[in-house]
Chains A and B, each alone.
Chain A
Amino acid sequence: MIALTVVSSGIMLQFDWNGVAASEEAGPIDTLLDVMIVLSCFVFSIVMVMFGYAVWRYRAKPGDESDGEPIHGNTKLEIAWTVIPTVIVLFGAGYSWVILDDIEEVAPAAERMQVNVTAQQFAWTFEYPEEGVTSKELHVPVGTQLDLRLTALDVLHSFWVPEWRIKRDLVPQGAGGDEVDDTVVVTPNEEGTYNVVCTEYCGAGHATMRALAVVESRDEFDAWIDETKATAGGGGGGAAAG
């Protein structure tokens, strides 16, 4: 079983299951996944070895009409397979809790940038309140923590950039909307162009509700802000009408 665990988890760990990692949060999440893969391979190996051995060793020969040995149980074994899994899952829960606190830690204001994300069937709008800019693309200076404020105008949508690992639904809210947890932080740390994917089913155009997420250097970002301000003329802000 140990050998099978080592071999199977050794193979399973060779793959980047979650694909490219491009945010501070992706690291801890992928580490948790690796730990879970090893634990899962261990549990799966136990089950498969027991299963394979029993099926191979105790299969009936044709015409064998005898009965098996009347074993009704074994209290020690039963306690063991109640207690050990409990310990494993509680360890998993505790570890997940630590990771969760880690990936949701809010950076100091100076390293953080607020972006108001608005979703509607079937488009994204990103507003930069500090810059007074509104865009259909999400541009981010690399290494800055994004403080996303999420709103939906019609039905539920969900913000996800697979390479960043972070996802959160956008919920339509009325005037007293502070019941909904509508902020999420993520710190992209690899320059590149990614897709913002809508993952909460939102109707006919759901499959194609995408926006570009561009992670670039601070200089490129500043240039983009200036350019967008210039083309938007009156300071932007009208695109989120709805």
Chain B
Amino acid sequence: MSAEIPSESPEPSVAVVTPRRRKSQTREIIENSFGLVVVLVLLIGFFSFQTDHFFSGTTFQAIANQIPTNIFVAIGMTFVLIIGGIDLSVGSVLALGGAVLGVALVQWHWPLWAGILLCLLIGAICGLINGALTIRFQLPSFIVTLGLMEAARGATYLVTNSQTMYIGSVVETVDNISLFGLSLPFFLAIALVVFGQLVLSSTVFGRYLIALGTNEEAVRLSGIDPRPVKLAVFTLSGTLAALGGVSYCARLSSADPNAGSGFELAAIAAVVIGGTSLMGGRGSVINSLFGVLVIAVLENGLAQLGAPESVKRLVTGAVIIVAVIVDFYRVRRADRKARAAG
């Protein structure tokens, strides 16, 4: 440092703030999703040319009615990943919620709304347990939720006697309310994605999530208690998983004790394809939706191409890895751009 600085305090120099056109928030979100939308369009295009029936209302309807469960789980997972955690218990919690719903409707003859409420409550409690243990004993959420993944599955077997419980028409009403052939859960899922994205990008809570995932110690030392925020995130994830349980039951008219196994990994895959960082501090709910869509389109398209399960899994795996690599370069380029601006 050879710059000569006068020894008395210098004139408060004018900061070099060049006010550039600031992007509106919506535009920013759209820009962030652009790459994924392109990928989605390419995939749909590819399958439409390769098969006779892919590009049809039936296919899109099928996909739309199949994905709500995954979307609910993915929204919760997005929040958990943003704070630098992980929730492996969602698949089991989904099954447990469904089982409790089944028991409430079939054995106790509760009205549907009360059953759903109980189901969501069970999910919230599971999430609360995850959060409380993670915070109280400063354990990695990976371990805690892995434990609950087993425990909740066990509880599901207990509740259902390890047998698929047929619920019947009571629960089907959820799925049967529809508009243009799209079910109520689909609309609810889309609404929650939009709401979740707004919460993430426009509320204090959302800002805290991003800050926590970026530097928890800095947040704590800024006078913000991270514990209630983290607790809320895990509770939310559990509740959304249980909501996934409701839509799952509604679609199958029954509660399956093995429901949702592997959903946690599918959700993580979708969220990561959507560009949410496993390290925390960065993520988007909208893009998680696109992540779910990419996986769903791939699976349906490959199925219509007649690809066997083996090929489907190979391709899905490759897509996940490629998506993460692309995201790595995207972030690096954005950082470099920001540095050049600085």
Chain A bound to chain B? no
